[in-house]
Structures are given as structure tokens and as C-alpha cells.
Amino acid sequence: MDVRFVAPDLRKLDLLDAEAMAVPVHTDERPLRGATGLLDWRLCGRFSQLVVRGRVTGREGERVLVPTAGRLSFDKVLLVGAGPSAGLDAAQARRTVRAMLEVLDGLRIRRAAIALPGRTWELLEAGTAMDVLAPMILEPHEQDAITVIEQADEHRAMQRALESARRQRRADAS
């Protein structure tokens, strides 16, 4: 699978070659921030409306698919409940990322973008966040390419963590 990185900037997100984007929603993060907040703004507060109506809570296991109605370069946004951001750990982040990938696989999405839980407030370091993601994206999935939404100054650290996971996977297979 091809893994790319892009900064959380609307102009850059507008250029994404993706069919869908998966973003975390935490129970205690209001207003929505990071990539989730940027997409909410571009969609004229659609996510915020879902939160106000109680249709999106951010509790773990929650999965809500929202069409972008042509306002973004991709067709759908998958909101995945990530639980509370307070006390976020790698296990909670791993469950959220696994839920994202399961839904994207179920939808047969070939090109996806993902915003990792805990990164908006740097609750997880970039390397730790990639340590959560890397083993899962090295498993067989429907995606040919995943773009990780991350601050530009962290792309190199995340790339190193991904390469380390790939080397470990090859070593384990030998």
C-alpha cells in the first residue's frame, strides 16, 4: 500500500486524490478541531449540526458516513468515535484506526485519507501515532493508497516509523 502525507490545510485537502476521508471525533472535543474541524467548516457546519442534534457523540465504536455533496475533492467523510481525548492512549487510538480501516474496507474504498486520533492536540507523538497505524496498514486492505493528514514538520518522523514497521514485517516473515 502506498502511504502519503499531507498537512491539515484546506487548500492541500482540496487537492487530495481520495474517495473518502476518515476522521476521529472525540466526546470531549467541542468545537471540532484539526482535520475534522476544517472539513466541518468546508461543509458549512454539517458535523457540528450532527453533534448538536445528538447524531454524533464521539463515543467509541460510533461510525457516521457523511456525503460531501461536491464541497470537497472526495465523496464522503467517515466520522469515527474515538472516545474521550483526555487520557487517550495507544490502545484507544488503535481501536479507532481499526474501525476506520474496517469501514473503508467495507465500502471498498481504494484511495483514502485518514486523520489519526490524538494528533490534533498532540496527545500522541507522531511516531507513536504511526506505530499505531503502521502494523494495520501493512495488513491486507482494500486501499491502494492512504494519505495521512499530519503537520508537515512531522512527516519525516512518521515516514521513519512506517519504514521501521515495514522492515520489522519483512524480518518477521523471513
CATH code of 142's domain: 3.40.220.10
pLDDT recorded at residue 5: 95
User: pLDDT for 58-69, tens place per residue?
Assistant: 999 999 999 999
Owning domain of residue 143: 2-173
Nearest alpha-carbon partner for 129 in 97, 167, 107: 97
User: pLDDT for 40-54, tens place per residue?
Assistant: 999 999 999 999 999
pTM, entire model: 0.93
Q: If you average pLDDT over every residue of the chain, what do you get? A: 93
Domain count, the chain: 1
pLDDT recorded at residue 120: 83
Torsion of CA 96, 97, 103, 107, to 10 degrees: 160
pLDDT recorded at residue 139: 87
pLDDT recorded at residue 174: 82
Q: How many CB atoms lie within 10 A of CB 110?
A: 14
Q: What are φ and ψ of residue 80, in 5° steps? A: -120, 125
Nearest alpha-carbon partner for 115 in 2, 11, 13, 1: 13
Contact (Cβ atoms closer than 8 angstroms) between residue 3 and residue 162: yes
Residue by residue, pLDDT tens for the chain (174 residues) are 899 999 999 999 999 999 999 999 999 999 999 999 999 999 999 999 999 999 999 999 999 999 999 999 999 999 999 999 988 899 999 999 999 999 999 999 999 999 999 898 788 888 888 888 898 888 888 999 999 999 999 999 899 989 988 998 889 888
